[in-house]
Structure 1
Amino acid sequence: MPDHSSSPAPRAPRVLVIGIDGVRYDLLRELPTPHLDSVAQAGFLTPVEVAPGTPTMSGPCWATIATGVGPAKHGIWGNNFTGHRLEAFPDFATRLARVDGRRTFVTGGWAPLMIQQDGGALFRAPGRLSFIAPADHTPKAWDDCDEQVTAEAEHVLAASDPEASFVYLGAVDETGHSLGCGSEYREAVVRADERLGRLLAAVRSRPSYAAEAWTVIVVTDHGHVDAGGHGGNTLEERTAWLACAGPQFLPGRPVGTVRHADVAAQVYASLGRPVDPHWTLDGRPFGS
């Protein structure tokens, strides 16, 4: 009989989703984003079209990303979440925590995502949640907030053991709204990439990293017009993007069309968690 005594143990699956709000896809080619590039080179980076009928606003786009269903199901059509159907279509962190008892972690500074404000929270009951509010709605205050969010996530990712995490960075979007898509906006994108690098380094610093299989997904919700702002139907507003690296993806292999609703489905797939057909997800794992 064959000797399997030396067969390596399967690595424990882990997923990290980093949401960077409002980053224009067309500007990524112009800016130094080495950490995003490293994710893309290990897997892929692809444009994502905001689904027809979905407003190019943060609320409905992040809700689709987190739940795996579109606005017709999750019920979020704007940045006020009143009237949502999140109990029927919960976010992936809450579903994993409630149904499977998985360890999940969510952090960020935009209130409707995290707490009961403006009809929120989108992330209803993850295993661990850290809400860090900006001191004001200015680019500087949001940059400070993202710095605190990143530091918190670094600590949790390095020292704890969440199986699925979501980290939200909002300074790029706030800069676009306040100052347009000029030099300050571009600098905000570069700083977001630096923070992405710190999160990746925190994952790699884990004592158990060699025994883990990490899938990293980096995604934006929508773009901006040149003058700043979104909510319309221009190509710049409707074109988002997503980068992913993980054990299921070979560098440079095409994955076909990727949609926002596919993110939650991929989180479940990366964790080896079969999707219950009663969840009626609109998304599917990348490349399937």
Structure 2
Amino acid sequence: MPRLPFFAALLLSACALPASPPALPPVTAPARATATGATPPPAPAVPDRPTTILVSIDGFRPDYLRHGDTPHLDAIAAAGVSGSMYPSFPSITFPNHYTLVTGLRPDRNGIVSNTMEDPAKPGALFQLSDSKVTHDPDWWNQAEPLWVTAERAGIRSATMFWPGSDLPIRGMRPQDWLLYDPDYTSAQRVRTVLDWLRRPAGARPGFVTLYFDTVDKTAHHDGFYAPQKTAAIRDVDAQIGALRAGLAAIGRPVNLVIVSDHGMAPVPIAQRIDPAGIAPPATTRTLGGGPLLGIYPRDGVDPRVLDAAVGRHAHDRCWRREALPARFHYGRNPRVPPLVCLADIGWSFADKPSAYVRGDHGYDPRDPAMRALFLATGPAFRSGRRLAPFDNVDVAPLLRDLIGLPPGQGLDGTDRPFRAVLRRQPLDR
């Protein structure tokens, strides 16, 4: 994911909303009369629900495990639940992170790309480097993320960086949140989460997100095969170990779900596609780049100019928005460009070659290199189970089960892939 501007001050205290509502009283079994008419003493209070922590390791492929760099993640995979996921199209950061917490594919949740336009917002360009635009709630309000749903249900939530979590969506933020700061280290992120969980019950979150971005960044900026990427993998694994050790010291029961948003593919130096060869600059303009390119006709130009680009080319394919493959579940949202071009795996839309073998993503979600990680452990999960590959829209329904939210209506996913690995079956599913 591209680097966002540095924010000079973290709003750890100032960014939080006012104090959360009081904790709900413990649930007790109703008293029952005995044959003699005496009333037995009240049953013990039901313990509060384990905290659910959702961890994202951006750009982490499942096959990064088991190579000696990830002992803590390997241990979770062996003792807990493991599997891989198909990301949603397009297989890039913001759309998939929003899918993971809404249960809606990008075409329905509104975050259709890392860079996008909206006919209803003429002149506005959503791009990761412009926080003034990305913090406009209008871009995000097409769907409701889990931290908002949890807050509405009286369940306190806390987000340690997650796309969309540092602005009000549908008028609400999580109780605890931080403005994204790329220089906030992985260790600092873990320490903050642990501090949240040391709080007394009334101020302790029931749902937490934790985001690590260094594995993705190093693959993009230093190279797919760069030692910096291996170092980032090792560091994130060490922080997962620190998180688990801290949780054990606190003694809080936690259901830990670890995911990634997409995989990563090597892009050799010479494997570039010049966008000008597909979209002549005199009559068209492009949006995006890398594996995925959006094309628009220039103002005043007949839209039929795009017809020349439709179809299969040497290393890519272009579709009219309304003719995208049905398996992409993409193209009905007006934010999708009128023409969408997708490069073959390992190729990239760029006007000049890279200086090294870059890592990139955004390719066909069914390509094995785009597979995303899934691991889970905690009191809700059985031990030593492996899942068949599933779509990442299924994660949000699982999280709703863990958090204690009712089934979502009209979601694109389901909790069915997880029923055999949960110790207690969800009700009313």
Q: TM-score, normalised by structure 2?
A: 0.56
2:383 corresponds to: 251
* Preserved contact between residue 105 and residue 166 of structure 1 (Cα < 8 Å): yes
1:37 corresponds to: 74
Rate the CA distance shift 1:32–1:70 in 2: closer, same or farther, 3 A.
same
Q: CA RMSD in A?
A: 3.0
Does 1:66 pair with 2:101? Answer: yes
AA partner of residue 385 (structure 2): R
Does 1:164 pair with 2:210? Answer: no
- Helix, strand or coil at the partner of 2:185: helix
1:131 corresponds to: 179
Trace 1:1-288 onto structure 2 (pairs within 5 A). 9-51=46-88, 54-80=89-115, 86-97=140-151, 99-108=152-161, 112-115=163-166, 125-134=173-182, 141=183, 145-159=185-199, 161-182=204-225, 183-207=227-251, 209=252, 212=253, 214-226=254-266, 227-233=358-364, 235=367, 237-277=369-409, 280-285=410-415, 286-288=417-419
Q: Percent identity?
A: 25
Higher alpha-carbon Rg: 2
Structure 1 gap segments, 5+ residues each: 135-140
2-side partners of 1:74 and 1:124: how far apart?
Answer: 17
Cα deviations across residues 175-224 of structure 1 (Å, max 9, x unaligned)?
A: 111111222111101101111112222222225x2xx4x21100001122
AA partner of residue 187 (structure 2): E
CA deviation after TM superposition for structure 1 residue 19, in Å: 0.6
2-side partners of 1:249 and 1:179: how far apart?
Answer: 37
2:129 corresponds to: none
CA deviation after TM superposition for structure 1 residue 276, in Å: 4.1
- Helix, strand or coil at the partner of 2:158: strand
Rate the CA distance shift 1:18–1:77 in 2: closer, same or farther, 3 A.
same
Rate the CA distance shift 1:156–1:82 in 2: closer, same or farther, 3 A.
farther
* Preserved contact between residue 24 and residue 236 of structure 1 (Cα < 8 Å): no
Rate the CA distance shift 1:122–1:273 in 2: closer, same or farther, 3 A.
closer
* Preserved contact between residue 31 and residue 190 of structure 1 (Cα < 8 Å): no
1-side partners of 2:205 and 2:394: how far apart?
Answer: 21
2-side partners of 1:24 and 1:71: how far apart?
Answer: 21
Structure 2 gap segments, 5+ residues each: 1-33, 35-39, 119-137, 267-357, 420-429
Q: TM-score, normalised by structure 1?
A: 0.81
- Helix, strand or coil at the partner of 2:385: coil
Rate the CA distance shift 1:6–1:102 in 2: closer, same or farther, 3 A.
closer
- Helix, strand or coil at the partner of 1:217: strand
2-side partners of 1:145 and 1:249: how far apart?
Answer: 30
Rate the CA distance shift 1:121–1:274 in 2: closer, same or farther, 3 A.
closer
2-side partners of 1:8 and 1:91: how far apart?
Answer: 31
2-side partners of 1:101 and 1:158: how far apart?
Answer: 19
Rate the CA distance shift 1:100–1:114 in 2: closer, same or farther, 3 A.
closer
* Preserved contact between residue 82 and residue 385 of structure 2 (Cα < 8 Å): no
* Preserved contact between residue 52 and residue 206 of structure 2 (Cα < 8 Å): yes
- Helix, strand or coil at the partner of 2:218: helix
- Helix, strand or coil at the partner of 1:266: helix
* Preserved contact between residue 148 and residue 169 of structure 2 (Cα < 8 Å): no
How many equivalent pairs are there? 266
Bigger proportion of residues as helix: 1
- Helix, strand or coil at the partner of 2:241: helix
CA deviation after TM superposition for structure 1 residue 253, in Å: 3.1
